[in-house]
């Protein structure tokens, strides 16, 4: 099993939108609607932002949205704010195991 | 609101056994799965494995021969043991609660424990 593929970095200015992709295979991302996304600030534990592809936990701003097409899932952050600058990881259930993406560093310019 | 508090040795010699425990405070223990995830310095997250309330365990194939996850339901704790560690096992180790069964995500995390393997 290989890690899911994410871009190493993305950037955007305050108020803009950015999208982070997460590509897997039909055995993980494409095979289950169990994709989740985590935000991690330096030195902190990851925080759940999206689960089941597009669902938001209570307390997560609706600026964060998720989607999936085939073997690729996406996280879109609209109305970028300075506090959104962090690392983002996708995650997919894959049957007997779980895969994370390599992580994407979001820079708010 | 559930809280996960983890503890264990932070410095190991090569070939020793890593041992970490995670205490679960608040919320139901039996209704969830319990997982360990690690993150090497400057790198991404890696799922190590999980244990279900039934006692069933699942491990990442690359570590399966060295990993044991166990649970003590009387104390609401679960533990990780990783044998024969090497420098490649140096990482921050997180415990996490899994909401599974018709879904799958990690909704609560421990604070993380940096484990360094060095001679």
Distance (Å, whole) CA A61 – CA A67: 16
Task: Name the percent of chain A lying above pLDDT 90.
Answer: 95
Give me the sign of the Cα torsion angle B69, B22, B110, B52.
Answer: positive
Contacts of A3 in chain B (CB under 8 A): 44
A95 touches chain B (CB under 8 A): no
Residue B111 Cα distances to B7, B82, B93, angstroms = 9, 19, 9
Q: Which residue of A has its CA nearest to B60?
A: A97
Distance (Å, whole) CA B95 – CA B6: 7
Q: Do A34 and B45 touch (CB under 8 A)?
A: no
Give the pLDDT confidence score for residue A68 in this predicted structure. 98
A45 touches chain B (CB under 8 A): yes
Closest residue to B94, CB basis, from A32, A45, A48: A45
Selected residue with higher pLDDT from B27 and A24: A24
Split at pLDDT 50, 70, 90, the class of B28 is confident
A1 touches chain B (CB under 8 A): yes
Q: Which residue of A has its CA nearest to B93?
A: A45
A41 touches chain B (CB under 8 A): no
Strand ranges of the sheet holding A72-77, from the earlier edge strand across to the other edge: A18-23, A72-77, A64-69
Mean pLDDT of the region B7-35: 94
Q: Which of B34, B42, B45, B97 to mutate to test the interface with A (most CBs of A within 10 A)?
A: B45
- What is the tens place of the pLDDT at every residue in B54-113? 889 999 999 999 999 999 989 999 999 999 999 999 999 999 999 988 899 999 999 999
Q: Which residue of A has its CA nearest to B63?
A: A97
When computed from its CA atoms, the radius of gyration of chain B, rounded to whole angstroms, is 14
- What is the tens place of the pLDDT at every residue in A26-77? 999 999 999 999 999 999 999 999 999 999 999 999 999 999 999 999 999 9
What is the average pLDDT value for chain A, to the nearest integer?
97
């Amino acid at each position: 099993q290989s890690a899911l593929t994410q871009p190493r970095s993305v950037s955007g200015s305050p108020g803009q939108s950015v999208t982070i992709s997460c590509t897997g295979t039909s055995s993980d991302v494409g095979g289950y609607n169990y994709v989740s996304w985590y935000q991690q600030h330096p030195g902190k534990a990851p925080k759940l932002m999206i689960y089941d592809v597009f669902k938001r936990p209570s307390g997560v701003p609706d600026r964060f949205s998720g989607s999936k097409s085939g073997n690729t899932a996406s996280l879109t952050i609209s109305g970028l704010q300075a506090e959104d600058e962090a690392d983002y990881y996708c995650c997919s259930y894959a049957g007997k195991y779980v895969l994370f993406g390599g992580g994407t560093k979001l820079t708010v310019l | 609101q559930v809280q996960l508090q983890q503890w264990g040795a932070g410095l190991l010699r090569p070939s020793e056994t890593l041992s970490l425990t995670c205490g679960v405070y608040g919320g139901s223990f039996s209704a969830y799965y319990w997982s360990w995830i690690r993150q090497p310095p400057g790198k991404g997250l890696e799922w190590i494995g999980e244990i279900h309330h039934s006692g069933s365990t699942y491990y990442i194939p690359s570590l399966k021969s060295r990993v044991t996850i166990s649970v003590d339901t009387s104390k609401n704790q679960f533990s990780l043991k990783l044998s024969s560690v090497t420098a490649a096992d140096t990482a921050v180790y997180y415990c996490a609660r899994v909401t599974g069964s018709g879904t799958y995500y990690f909704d609560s995390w421990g604070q993380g424990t940096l484990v360094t393997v060095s001679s």
